[in-house]
Structure 1
Amino acid sequence: MRDFLPADKARRERVLAVIRERYRAHGFDEIETPVMEEYARLHAGVGGDNEKLAYNILRRGLDAEAIRAAADDPAQLTDLGLRYDLTVPLARFFASHRGELPSVFHAIQIAPVWRAERPQKGRYRQFMQCDIDIIGDASARAEAELAVATLDTLDALGLEGGGIRINDRRLLDWMLEHFGFAPDTRPGVLITIDKLDKIGPDGVAAELRERGADVAAVDAFQAFLRRPQTLEFRPFGEGQVRKALPEGAPDDVVAHLVGIGEAVAAARPGGDGPGGVPLVFDPFLVRGMGYYTGTIFELSHPSVSYSLGGGGRYDGMIGRFLGQDVPAVGFSIGFERIVDLVEQGVDTAAESVVLVHDKDVPIAELAAHKARLIAGGARVRLETRTKNLRGLLERATADGYTAFATVSAGQNELETKPLV
């Protein structure tokens, strides 16, 4: 968990302002949920490893004897926890307010979440998430809207050229069945397949054998990974999807992916991706969240090797709270990663002025000068002149100020000069 100095905080707020503005331009509305949710909801088995990282809150009123008696059962010790993501709270929110919301709801959530991570570079225990979700639309239109809004936001932040890797959990499950992996082994198999980029096909096959996976299934999967492949150009579409899969892939799932690509291509003609479509089908994209039921995606950018966000369809989650399934899909931008890539900028919406005044200037005169500048739309800070004027101005520049003026007692007009 970190403190942010004024310049860092201002930079983060500028990036958040762009994200909010772009999301709203695409028809999403912002909501807010409490930082705490019920323990049972956060530990319902849909959050994957994140459930293990949740900060839990001790039940009120427990004495020492009660704590000792329940020491081996966290559910008896705690009744609330800090949210570890924004998707679980959104599902609860929609179930609670469905009658007050449109049948297809476009939601923005921008808020901090907490996970008990091991502190290391890029891993924080408190961090900001920026989510957009569409609830109530099972069609490919929902995924396409999320993809276009996300790529548009990346462009607005000066990170043009982004792309999206896309897959479907239904295709993953179909492939594992096709190769012969037993249903009860598939979660572990997916964990290993997720390492394909790091350890390669032979490493994946070796780890699957170590895990005790069915030998024939591993042999079939390894043979598929080693199959001869031509390098001809294939833009995103049915050809690219089917070429990357074994024969016989489900037509409805393939059609869903193709529909997403067609809509994204129409919304972003002449894009940077192959064939003008900033989508790439990746049959081994896994994403570990247990609640994904369909399409999954990750946001990429050529300037970095890691993903800048991701999401997917989680049609089964809201039904846990509502008693009936409601289609839902979401995309989250990795704010903490993106904010470090965005070029440092200044707020040009208004002039930012430092008034450097002599010690003998009456307070009333300073208040009047400051009020006039603020009334004209400027941001104003008062600073008493010091011997090291250069250091004072350098600090003001670092804090985002763009101009300064010196003030003496009895001075009526101020002359502002740019800070260089």
Structure 2
Amino acid sequence: MASVNPPRGMRDFLPADKARRERVLAVIRERYRAHGFDEIETPVMEDYDRLHAGIGGDNEKLSFSILKRGMDADAIRAAADDPAALADLGLRYDLTVPLARFYATNRAQLPTVFRAIQMAPVWRAERPQKGRYRQFLQCDIDIIGDGTARAEAELMVASLDVLDTLGLEGGSIRVNDRRVLDAMLDVFGFAAEERPGVLITIDKLDKVGPSGVVAELRERGAAVEAVDALAAYLDRPAGTPTFDDAGIRAALPAGIPDEVVAHLVALGETVAAARGADAPLVFDPFLVRGMGYYTGTIFELAHPSVDYSLGGGGRYDGMIGRFLGQQVPAVGFSIGFERIVDLLPDADAAGERSVVLVHDRDVPLAQLLALKSHLVEGGARVRVEQRAKNMKALLERSAADGYGAFAPVGVGTTPETLELRPLS
């Protein structure tokens, strides 16, 4: 007998789950639009070569490829050792690569500075486990065409606004710059060719601690003097740096370019001005983010209720140029939708306007539907249920589906005599 389960790493959503997700999506969409972003849509598939062009980082290894149509068994066997010969399309593994292609395709019809929203599923051939799926929803905002700190500040302010509106006040954003990381590794003495591997190890700092990072670098055979310099820097007494010129410089070794520090300071000042208070930004000189296409500022969204990030992003000025042949500045922020949904309560704000009409068997259909239409026209969401022997189970199921009230309906019940009763 065939399995009735969804494919591994993918999920069904029951009505209450789907309604909850849609409520969160509506808030995210409304707040991002309020900040001047416009929603776009791109195909779920992109060309295989584009998805494997070296601009998607490690995600390229997780791409689902689509077999070329019309290949017979002999052609498949002949191409078995060459994935590019077997597939010409693939499912998108993120929304950034499709956005870069979208902009290159439609640039003439877009404003000089383009603010985009994308809210759509992506697919990755992950090993399924708790909190990690093969199909999941991404909610991205990106600004293309603005290379200043204003663009990054707009993304941060809009994303913090989303958290506040969802009831997750108190969020903060960890900030760094890939140019800071590169300058630090240069100061410590790491050769250019070993820096990508060094960054992979530094990215584990939160998990393994300074001693674990130093030990792994020694095992990898990194330059001894450079590892010693990094170890000494990690062992220095350090508090949480303030997000201003003095605080950022105090958190860094000497030799970091002034223009990079100035960019970060301007970012903090802009976010603070927009939020009307001290900017909820935290400078983290060892924030890495693994995507290789980041070229400047990088950031992660944090909340005190959890020890993992709720989103993140960064500047990727080099990506669109791969399609256009000229450099176009770009920066993006991705909200961790699946993680945020899990943090929010189940309450349905529309429950008071959701009604179940529980009718007796002998109620005429015309009367029943007239009552329903009357409530729907008044803005309510209405479900019709015949009275059951086990009324408790019926009402509990209705409450679980997001309904806030029910009304008994008998022969002769009118809109004026309809009695709404709370479900909880």
Which residue, 281, 290, 293 being the options, matches 1:291?
A: 293
| 2:70 aligned with 1:61 | yes
- Work out the number of aligned pairs and report it: 413
Distance 1:217 1:99 in 2: 48
CA contact 1:235–1:277 (8 Å) conserved in 2? no
Question: For residues 28-56 of structure 1, what are the alpha-carbon distances to aligned partners after superposition, in whole Å with 9 as ceiling and x for unaligned?
Answer: 01000010011111111121211111111
CA contact 1:113–1:126 (8 Å) conserved in 2? yes
SS at match of 2:271: helix
Match of 2:145 in 1: 136
Match of 2:250 in 1: 243
| 2:188 aligned with 1:179 | yes
Match of 2:57 in 1: 48
Which residue, 393, 402, 411 being the options, matches 2:404?
A: 402
Amino acid paired to 2:24? V
Amino acid paired to 1:4? F
Distance 2:245 2:379 in 1: 54
Which residue, 110, 120, 144 being the options, matches 2:129?
A: 120
Distance 2:74 2:241 in 1: 67
Distance 1:364 1:108 in 2: 45
Match of 1:273 in 2: none
Question: For residues 155-192 of structure 1, what are the alpha-carbon distances to aligned partners after superposition, in whole Å with 9 as ceiling and x for unaligned?
Answer: 00100000000000011111111111111111111000
Displacement of 1:227 in angstroms is 2.7
Match of 2:7 in 1: none
| 2:32 aligned with 1:28 | no
Displacement of 1:350 in angstroms is 6.4
Match of 2:420 in 1: 416
Match of 1:336 in 2: 338
The 5 A counterparts of 1:6-405 are 6-229=15-238, 231=239, 234-270=241-277, 276-348=278-350, 351-405=353-407
CA contact 2:176–2:287 (8 Å) conserved in 1? yes
Displacement of 1:349 in angstroms is 8.1
Amino acid paired to 2:304? P
Change (3 A) 1:386 1:350: closer
Distance 1:27 1:74 in 2: 41
CA contact 2:171–2:304 (8 Å) conserved in 1? yes
Distance 2:208 2:396 in 1: 49
Identity of aligned residues (%): 75
Displacement of 1:348 in angstroms is 2.7
Distance 1:68 1:365 in 2: 66
CA contact 1:357–1:408 (8 Å) conserved in 2? yes
Runs of 4+ with >6 A deviation: none
Displacement of 1:202 in angstroms is 2.0
CA contact 2:359–2:386 (8 Å) conserved in 1? yes
Amino acid paired to 1:411? T
Q: What is the TM-score normalised by the length of structure 1?
A: 0.96
Distance 1:139 1:335 in 2: 27
Distance 1:234 1:170 in 2: 18
Amino acid paired to 1:142? A
CA contact 1:350–1:379 (8 Å) conserved in 2? no
Question: For residues 248-275 of structure 1, what are the alpha-carbon distances to aligned partners after superposition, in whole Å with 9 as ceiling and x for unaligned?
Answer: 21011111111100000111123xxxxx
Change (3 A) 1:350 1:318: farther
SS at match of 2:328: coil
CA contact 1:109–1:131 (8 Å) conserved in 2? yes
Distance 2:91 2:145 in 1: 27
Where do 5+ consecutive residues of structure 1 fail to align?
A: 271-275
Change (3 A) 1:164 1:183: same
Question: For residues 105-128 of structure 1, what are the alpha-carbon distances to aligned partners after superposition, in whole Å with 9 as ceiling and x for unaligned?
Answer: 000000111111111111011111
